[in-house]
Amino acid sequence: MRMIELAFSGQLWLDMFASLRRVLIGFLFGSLIAVPVGFLMGWYRIARAVIDPWIQFFRVIPPLAIIPLAIVTLGIDEKPKIFVIFLAAFLSSVVATYQGVISVDRTFINAARVLGANDRVIFARVIIPASTPFILVGFRIGLGSAWATVVAAELIAAQSGLGFRMQQAQLYYDLPTIFVSLIAIGILGLIMDRIVVRAEQRLTHWQERVYHD
């Protein structure tokens, strides 16, 4: 079986590690920057007026379309790959965070003000908890975008990674290797998604949920 052969040779683990490393770095940086930017956009109108047009501008440009530009400007090493992953994760998370802030029920904010809470307390005790479900949904979408982007980036310019392995297998019509790479991507993506879902369950346990049989 091809998966067993690649696993015992160590090639599968090296490719998985290379792709996972790129995804984690780009996703973490993109998400960490997106959350405060999203809060600023949702909380301050001036910030929204300045930042939102740029966000919308880059949203309509697929991150995959930026790969050639990133390679030309940043070279062919890890920087362009991580940058496009960062951009994909950032755009997903910043929009979700912004939507979470503006979706907070004004009744909660007004009630907090009546009780004497200042802006800092309202932000920490009302806005952040109420926005958390939106932020985590943005993380899940960002993860999917990150994996799609890293595979495309590795197809264009890489010396390792699951996308690179699929490209090499394509040249030799090596379907088993292509399927193994696809399965590895699916497993890694699923594991990361389940981690975010578990975090969502822990952080939003107070939220009412509706389940259908």
- Each residue of 105-114: pLDDT tens digit? 778 777 888 8
The reported pLDDT for the residue numbered 210 is 44
The reported pLDDT for the residue numbered 116 is 78
List, for the chain, all residue ranges whose pLDDT scores fall below the cut of 70. Answer: 156-157, 205-213
Task: Tell me the C-alpha to C-alpha distance, in Å, between residue 100 and each of 12, 118, 154.
Answer: 39, 20, 33
Nearest to 150 by CA among 167, 133, 174, 136: 167
Domains and CATH numbers, the chain: 2-203 (1.10.3720.10)
The token pair at 198 is: 């578990």
Which residue do the tokens 């960002």 mark?
Answer: 142
The reported pLDDT for the residue numbered 147 is 87
The reported pLDDT for the residue numbered 207 is 60
The reported pLDDT for the residue numbered 209 is 52
Which residue do the tokens 């699951």 mark?
Answer: 162
Helix (H, G, I), strand (E, B) or coil at 172: coil
> What is the C-alpha to C-alpha distance for residues 209 and 206, in angstroms, rounded to an integer?
9
Alpha-helical (H) ranges within 60-205 are 63-74, 78-102, 106-114, 119-122, 128-156, 162-171, 175-203
- Within 8 A by CB and 6+ apart from 198, the residues are none
The reported pLDDT for the residue numbered 33 is 93
